[in-house]
Chains A and B, each alone.
Chain A
Amino acid sequence: MDKAQLELVRGTLDVLILKALAWGRLHGYAITNLILRQSDDALLVEEGTLYPALWRLENKGLVESEWGLSENNRKAKFYWLTSEGRKHLRQETKTWEAYAAAVGKVLSATRPPQVEEA
């Protein structure tokens, strides 16, 4: 994987995490599971990238965390969106959709663009 792809992946990862938390308070493991399930097992968020991304989001004030108990009574750290995080998610979603549409248009083009007459 070269650097450009990594950037892209991480940028996407942030939105994915925010989107996952939009459903409610989750711990890190649940976030991975949720993304995996909602992408029909297409997107596996590796733990090595998930946690640093989560912590960065927390430092930016987009998510907050608190210790709590998991489903089977283990001590776990739960995350949720702040209002700022929610705003950020909306914005990033729009940006992503525009980007995806643009990339889609280019990739699905069947003819070269028409040259403008001078």
Chain B
Amino acid sequence: MNRTPFWRRYARLWKPDVRADVDDELRFHLAAKVDQLIAQGMDPEGARREAERQFGELAMVQEVGERLGRDRERSKQRKDYWGGLMQDLRYALRTLSRDRAFTIITVVILALGIAANTAVFSVVNTVLLRPLPFPDSQRLVWMESGRSLNATLRDAAGLSGLTYTVAAYEEFQRHNRSFQQVTGFNPFYGNGEFTLTGRGEPQAVLGVMVAENFFQTLGVQPMLGRLFTHEECQKNGRGAAVLSYAFWQRQYAGDPNIVGQAILLSKKPVVVVGVLPASFDFGSVFAPGMRMDLFVPAVMDELRYWGNTLAIVGRLKPGATVSQAQAESDILFPQFKAAHPDWFEDYASTLTGLKEFVTGKLRRSLIVLWCAVGVILLIVGVNLSNLLLARAAARGKEFAMRMALGAGRGRLIRQLLTESLVLSSGGAILGLGLAYAITMYMAHQGSIALPLLSSVRVDGAALGWTILIAVATAVLFGFVPALRASTGNLQDALKDAGPGMSAGRKHERMRAALVISEVALACVLLVGAGLLLRSFLKVLDVDLGFQPSHAAVIKIDYDDGNDKNSRIRRAQILREMLRNVEAIPGVEAAGETDMLPLGRNRSWGFQAKGHTYPKEVATVALVRIVTPGYLNAMGMHLLEGRDFNWQDVEGRENVVIINQAAARRFFPGEDPVGRLALVNGDTRVIGLLSDVREHSLEFSASPEMYLPAAQTDPEGAELVIRTKLPPEALASAVMKTLRSLNPSQPAAEFRPLQQIVDHSVSPRRFFVMLVASFALLGLILASLGIYGVISYSVTRQTQEIGIRMALGATAFQVQRGVIARALRLALAGVTLGTIGSFVTARWIASLLFGTRPTDPATFGGIVVLLCAVALLAGYLPARRASRIDPMNALRTN
């Protein structure tokens, strides 16, 4: 065989052509045969015919050849592709491990961005996207009464304005056609506060009264035992309780034998009939931030006389919609009201999907959070682009060499994309670990009053999301640098030892543009975070109407006998208790209430005697039943009149203290103190209190009335102690005193009053912390970007700076030049960012509190902050530039 010229080896230069290959091969065979026959003495024409005859069915062979050839081509392409990929991968890993600092920085930055995104996605997915953890949960509907009340009235009525009487509940249950099942529970959780005694120390446990069909309606099956029987839900029925999984684990160490045993709840024997599965977390759905221990039947014949006591949840019939149910309730409730003239309210109801009810208020906050991490990812991506560009500039020669050796542009781009994919995969793996830790941490923050937070975890969907964003980041932000790197001028790059001048400049412009966009994005994030942070501070600054510092609260228990003498007995018990507690050294004041502010509430009717009010004024106010000394212990301001004393007991004149909001509403333009009001009968107003934040820090005060515990029946008992000492220091002394008075006093936690305030602001704190940490991350990344670009340009201009210094430029002038460049970048970014921030701020306006979206302090502060950071990021390279030795710089190229 002859030596083959190399071009003949590539007969199919562009792409394989199987048909031509087979054709050529067979043609050669014929020609060789003809040659041989001629050599044997045959005439050319005869030889050709003989050869063709011998060859036989040429067409068939041709066809077989083409089929086999195509098979071969296919498997070869497959092999080439994988082979190429493996080669790219090996090469990427090799070059990246050589450039360790670059790899570590890039992977860490990517990991932070991806972790933030995965964690927030997990939250968004759990709270917004995923259905509630009940079967067919989209058919569950939440009902809320009080639609005919206007907003201020509804505030005034509190939870009482949103709930139903047993009669309304039963009427609706009986007559509706839209629901498969309608159930209810008592959302006045104070009714379910029990003291568990019998084993070990007495324990305070929180129970919820639920209707007989509550769990069936939600679709919750007990994990052990059974649910309530009909008899257990009747008056004087056998006491029964179903335990939550967490309580069963905590209190009974998961002992299955507890089912069927009797436990003592506030001295009443109650049989544990079942244990609920771990997947059912009542608190996370209906009462975020609260932990429910057990469930007891709501005995309707007892609740019947308590007024508005039930929250209603229904399960729609298959095919029925919320709007149909809404329309039906709009017809039914007026009919009920007409049939029952004795009802106080019309119970006009608003029906929403349960999911919407639970998470609807969070939607905007979560979407803002999601956008914030999206911006973080953008910044991370831009940073990646920037780093890759810098690296590409440094590797210009390598690429030129590879291209000169025959690597195609596509091949080079593929190689570079493989590198960015390897980087982002590293980032994704590290980021997943981080996100896992973050979500674990969040899920165990039981004190954050956000629904469903306890079930947040990195699941399959979050994993998919991570992979998606990792790949998208790598491709999107890796593509431009790859494109840039592969278009270098071959000769320039090879000729010039240093980075090519023109290519370098182009790179630098590109990188400057990237840094400007990075700064702009960071600016938007920072302004958003700044506005939210300022709102948060404003919220904390609100005048609560009481002093949360230096006070602590403990849930107490006492036995007033629960009969007609109980008010007298209660007054004696509480007076004795407070006298003893106040005698403890360090205690400055003590008082007792049934409900604390910022927590549960209920409302009763209230009006000034002799007044008639326009129809739209709700004649209700929130009720607190307190002892003398409570107002003082809470640090509330009595503006006028007097506090209660121990002479305000049953049989004496009924007295009430009201707040300013109540005075404004019920005694407009008058001095209420000394006047008579109607609260279950004539009641003398003896004091006027400054307003107390009731629902939350962010809503203004509602009308409130305070009644003495010796004249009214409270619902729960909280002891408030004002002390300069840390609460823990007092805990044992207080507990000893309480136990000496009542041996069954449960071992309750001694909580600082501040904690109640913190709990109330916890959702806002949660969002502010997250957004602020994202903004900080954005700031760091943007400053890294500025530093990188300036530092690179100093390196590139070493020679130029050297010349200028040799010509007499001072170190200061050189520094000024470099810093000015950094500032120019920052200012360009800040300008763009400020424009973006104005738009963003308007969009998040509804999340702000006491802060205008254009708050000049925030905007100004952020601009100054960014410029300061840019200054710092520019200063380090500037100092380096000013230390360039002109002689050295000129000598080296």
Shortest beta-carbon distance, A79 to chain B, in Å? Answer: 10
For window 58-107 of A, CB contacts with B under 8 Å fall at 58-59, 66-78
The answer to whether the Cβ of B69 comes within 8 Å of any Cβ in the partner chain is yes
The 8 Å CB contact of A68, one of B4, B29, B72, is: B4
Residues of chain A within 8 A of B77, CB atoms compared: none
Shortest beta-carbon distance, B37 to chain A, in Å? Answer: 12
Interface residues on A, range: 20 to 34
The 8 Å CB contact of B68, one of A25, A56, A70, A76, is: A56
Closest to A66 in B: B9
For window 17-31 of A, CB contacts with B under 8 Å fall at 25, 27-29
Residues of chain A within 8 A of B2, CB atoms compared: 68-71, 73
Contact with B along A23-55 (1 / 0, CB 8 A): 001011100000000000000001110011001
Shortest beta-carbon distance, B58 to chain A, in Å? Answer: 8
Residues of chain A within 8 A of B29, CB atoms compared: 28-29, 47, 51
Residues of chain B within 8 A of A73, CB atoms compared: 2
Interface residues on B, range: 20 to 34
Give the docked Cα–Cα distance between A72 and B33 (Å).
13
Give the docked Cα–Cα distance between A29 and B69 (Å).
19
The answer to whether the Cβ of B24 comes within 8 Å of any Cβ in the partner chain is yes
Closest to B25 in A: A77
The answer to whether the Cβ of B57 comes within 8 Å of any Cβ in the partner chain is yes
Query: B65, A51: Cβ atoms under 8 Å?
Result: yes
The answer to whether the Cβ of B86 comes within 8 Å of any Cβ in the partner chain is no
Contact with A along B66-107 (1 / 0, CB 8 A): 001101100100000000000000000000000000000000
Main DSSP-derived SS at the B contact region: helix
Known: A25-B1, A29-B28. A52 touches B72 (CB 8 A): no
Shortest beta-carbon distance, B145 to chain A, in Å? Answer: 78
Give the docked Cα–Cα distance between A14 and B11 (Å).
27
The 8 Å CB contact of B54, one of A25, A47, A59, A69, is: A47
The answer to whether the Cβ of B480 comes within 8 Å of any Cβ in the partner chain is no
The answer to whether the Cβ of B32 comes within 8 Å of any Cβ in the partner chain is yes
Interface centre among A25, A28, A29, A58 (most CB of B within 10 A): A29
Query: B61, A52: Cβ atoms under 8 Å?
Result: yes
Query: B55, A47: Cβ atoms under 8 Å?
Result: yes
Residues of chain A within 8 A of B69, CB atoms compared: 55
Query: A68, B8: Cβ atoms under 8 Å?
Result: yes
Closest to B57 in A: A48
Give the docked Cα–Cα distance between A73 and B69 (Å).
25
Query: B1, A51: Cβ atoms under 8 Å?
Result: no
Closest to B10 in A: A67
Shortest beta-carbon distance, A39 to chain B, in Å? Answer: 17
Give the docked Cα–Cα distance between A68 and B8 (Å).
7
Give the docked Cα–Cα distance between A26 and B675 (Å).
121
Known: A29-B28, A69-B4, A72-B35. A77 touches B21 (CB 8 A): yes
The 8 Å CB contact of B1, one of A48, A55, A56, A70, is: A70
Shortest beta-carbon distance, B75 to chain A, in Å? Answer: 8
Residues of chain B within 8 A of A46, CB atoms compared: 54, 56
Query: B9, A67: Cβ atoms under 8 Å?
Result: yes
Q: Which residues of A contact B (CB under 8 A)?
A: 25, 27-29, 46-48, 51-52, 55-56, 58-59, 66-78
- Add 18 more A-B contacts to A52-B68, A58-B72, A68-B4 (CB < 8 A): A25-B1, A28-B28, A46-B54, A48-B57, A51-B29, A51-B65, A52-B61, A55-B64, A58-B68, A59-B72, A59-B75, A66-B4, A67-B11, A70-B2, A71-B1, A73-B2, A76-B25, A77-B25
Q: Which 5 pairs, one residue from A and one from B, show the smallest C-beta to C-beta distance?
A: A29-B32, A55-B68, A48-B56, A68-B4, A69-B2
Q: What are 13 contact pairs spanning A and B, CB under 8 A?
A: A28-B29, A47-B54, A47-B56, A48-B56, A51-B61, A51-B64, A52-B61, A55-B72, A56-B68, A58-B72, A70-B2, A70-B32, A77-B25
